[in-house]
Amino acid sequence: MFPTMIGTVVIAGIVGYLAERSGFTHNGFLQSIIICVGGAFVFYFVRLMFGFGFSSAGVNAIVSSIGALVIVPFHWRK
């Protein structure tokens, strides 16, 4: 369980960095990484509690990170 959580954080951080580097978001590197890690944590714990998600923990981390990047910034923009 612990290595899966650490892997989730690492993958989410990489996704946040790559999203900012590629121009997908314009939040800043640290903010994008924090958003991705937060979304990945939420989805990780939802998967533990309710048991639904994709078959791989890595795919869960990637999808939840991208979902968090899409939802959070657009929610606060005007």
If you average pLDDT over residues 51-70, what whole number do you get?
89
pLDDT of residue 56: 87
Please give, one letter per residue, the 3-state secondary structure of 32-76.
HHHHHHHHHHHHHHHHHHHCCCCCCHHHHHHHHHHHHHHHHHHHH
pLDDT of residue 64: 92
pLDDT of residue 50: 92
pLDDT of residue 75: 60
Write the pLDDT tens digit of every residue in 10-60: 999 999 999 999 988 888 899 999 999 999 999 999 998 998 888 888 999
pTM of the model: 0.86
